[in-house]
Amino acid sequence: MVQVNGLKKSFGSNEVLKGIDLQVSSGEVVCIIGPSGSGKSTLLRCLNRLEKIDGGSVIINNVDINQKDININKVRENIGMVFQHFNLFPHLNVRENITLAPVELGILSKDEADKKALDLLNQVGLSEKINAYPNSLSGGQKQRVAIARALAMDPDIMLFDEPTSALDPEMVGDVLNVMKDLAAQGMTMVVVTHEMGFAREVGDRVVFMDGGYIVEVDTPDNIFNSPKEERTKSFLDKVL
């Protein structure tokens, strides 16, 4: 479903991705871990062309997303993205946040979108907040709405960039449980996370990045219990 080949990305003279190769299969959950500044967010942003790349290719569902003649908006409709800071529209209530994109893009009628919003809010445990505004929600609730909003487009793949890093500790579990349910339903997911417990339990594979490279990719069991690379070991020694 996702095929990244020799991906390079620089900001000015700072080469942030130095040749990334990564495949993600349908239904797979790939967790990306690694120190701050290693290029995790940049890699994720390259997967829906939020960044212009300098080399290599990103192929999603057999489409090379950096080709000039492709319709990037069509590609993005199939890629849900959830950020650390939620990015909900503050002037719209929860229902409107969730229904805006599918209605505006003509994918669902208003009635269909409203029904879907309620289904999705049930799924993330927030149906009673359907008319609430973002500023009345806790961080964990906002993040669950952000996940519901991304799901409203029926994406083939969901990208998460540290979805729990901005949350108070007591909210983290609710968001991780929603993500775990999603994984169990077969969603293809790429998750940048500092939650090693989640990566270990829910990840099919774990990618360790450092310095713009993928240092090691393996099953959670191998990464956490018998990492092959020194850099992986020393990172895990610091965070576990």
Q: How near is the Cβ of 174 to Mg ion at its closest, in Å?
A: 22
Q: Quick check: 239 binds ligand ADP (CB under 6 A)? A: no
Report how far apart, in Å, the C-alpha atoms of 101 and of each of 41, 81, 104, 132 are. Answer: 24, 13, 5, 18
Amino acid in the structure at residue 202: V
Binding to ligand ADP by CB under 6 A, coded x per residue (else -) over 32-51, reads --x-xxxxxxx---------
Residue with tokens 């080949």: 5
**DSSP summary character for residue 87:** -
What is the rounded distance in angstroms from the CA atom of residue 166 to the CA atom of residue 18? Answer: 28
Give the number of C-alpha atoms closer than 13 A to the C-alpha of residue 30, restricted to the C-beta side. Answer: 25
Tell which positions 168-227 bind ligand ADP, by CB under 6 A: none
Residue with tokens 């990840």: 203
Q: Quick check: 11 binds ligand ADP (CB under 6 A)? A: yes
The first and second tokens of residue 190, run together, are 């790429």
Which of Mg ion, ligand ADP, none sits in contact with 42, Cβ below 5 to 8 A by type? ligand ADP
Nearer to ligand ADP, 34 or 203 (CB): 34
CB 159 within 8 A of CB 48: yes
Which of Mg ion, ligand ADP, none sits in contact with 24, Cβ below 5 to 8 A by type? none
Nearest to 124 by CA among 69, 194, 182, 70: 182
Q: Quick check: 160 binds ligand ADP (CB under 6 A)? A: no
Q: How near is the Cβ of 229 to ligand ADP at its closest, in Å?
A: 17
Which of ligand ADP, Mg ion, none sits in contact with 37, Cβ below 5 to 8 A by type? ligand ADP
Q: Quick check: 41 binds Mg ion (CB under 5 A)? A: yes
Nearest to 124 by CA among 103, 99, 149: 149
What is the rounded distance in angstroms from the CA atom of residue 65 to the CA atom of residue 75? Answer: 7
Nearer to Mg ion, 166 or 217 (CB): 166
Tell which positions 15-34 bind ligand ADP, by CB under 6 A: 16, 34
Q: Which stretch binds Mg ion (CB under 5 A): 12-20, 40-48, 123-131, 218-226?
A: 40-48
Q: Quick check: 93 binds Mg ion (CB under 5 A)? A: no
Q: Which stretch binds ligand ADP (CB under 6 A): 8-16, 87-95, 120-128, 194-202?
A: 8-16
What is the rounded distance in angstroms from the CA atom of residue 15 to the CA atom of residue 191? Answer: 22
Kindly determine how many residues on this chain lie close enough to bind ligand ADP according to the rule CB under 6 A.
11
CB 7 within 8 A of CB 56: yes
Q: How near is the Cβ of 95 to Mg ion at its closest, in Å?
A: 30
Cα torsion 166, 167, 168, 171 to 10°: value is -170
Q: Quick check: 164 binds Mg ion (CB under 5 A)? A: no
Task: Return residues touching ligand ADP (CB under 6 A).
Answer: 11, 14, 16, 34, 36-42
